[in-house]
């Protein structure tokens, strides 16, 4: 009998994903709306077009952590998990999703994300990064140089992070 090799989140990963889900669910309704995700993605795109390092306005209670293929008007947590797992199990879909994430984080469209980009994105998604030192530590989790990350760094980090224990 062949063992199922599809990706499934372990308990720790599910807890991390639940934190992401809660960022989109500020009213604790148990559902996230596609329109809230679109609003935040639109704000990130707008920030990339204008000057991303200046103040960026966001709608109250919106944050960014999105599965790439939401088709319903809202998702509950289990639907959210299933959508993300499906994305992680499809190499082509995962690559497209990671490119979209990287493109949104690369606010200045220079091919890498540095501490300024990371701090601006943190502000947009409601995840305050205290200072440049904290931003450098976060970058260092993805790339040991800790100064900036490119798409390959991000993809490698995600692929290593989702491997089963």
* Interval 20-32 mean pLDDT: 78
> Taking the alpha carbons of 25, 40, 81, 17 in that order, is the dihedral positive or negative?
negative
Which of these ranges, 16-20, 148-152, 159-163, has the smallest mean pLDDT?
159-163
Average pLDDT over residues 125-132: 83
Beta bridge partners of 148: 114
Residue 2 lies in a domain: no
Instruction: Give me the CATH number covering residue 20.
Output: 1.10.238.10
Domain contains 76: yes
Domain count across the chain: 1
pLDDT digits 0-9 by tens, 88-126: 888 898 888 889 889 888 988 999 999 999 898 888 777
The pLDDT tens digits for 54-63 are 333 333 333 3
Q: What is the pLDDT of residue 39?
A: 65
pLDDT-derived band at 136, boundaries 50, 70, 90: very high
- Let me know if residue 3 belongs to a domain: no
Judge whether 32 lies within some domain: yes
Whether 6 is in a domain gets the answer no
- What is the sign of the dihedral through the CA atoms of 84, 139, 42 and 39? positive
Distance CA(47)–CA(50), nearest Å, equals 5
89 or 68: which leads in pLDDT: 89
Residue 124, domain member (yes or no): yes
CB contact set of 11 (below 8 Å; sequence gap of 6+): none
What range defines the domain where residue 148 resides? 11-161
- Tokens matching residue 11: 């308990």
Q: Which whole number is the average pLDDT over 30-45? A: 68
46: closest CA among 62, 35, 37, 57?
57
């Amino acid at each position: 009998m062949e063992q199922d090799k599809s990706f499934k989140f372990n308990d720790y990963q599910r807890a991390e994903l639940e934190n992401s889900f809660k960022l989109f669910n500020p009213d604790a309704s148990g559902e996230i709306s596609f329109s809230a995700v679109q609003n935040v993605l639109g704000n990130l795109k707008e920030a990339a077009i204008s000057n991303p390092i200046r103040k960026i306005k966001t709608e109250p209670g919106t944050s960014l952590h999105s599965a790439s293929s939401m088709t319903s008007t809202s998702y509950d947590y289990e639907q959210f998990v299933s959508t993300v797992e499906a994305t992680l199990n499809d190499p082509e879909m995962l690559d497209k999703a990671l490119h979209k994430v990287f493109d949104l984080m690369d606010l200045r469209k220079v091919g890498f994300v540095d501490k300024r980009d990371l701090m601006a994105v943190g502000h947009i998604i409601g995840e305050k990064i205290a200072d440049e030192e904290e931003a450098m530590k976060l970058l260092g989790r993805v790339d040991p140089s800790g100064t900036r990350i490119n798409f390959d760094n991000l993809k490698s980090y995600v692929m290593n992070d989702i491997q089963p224990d």
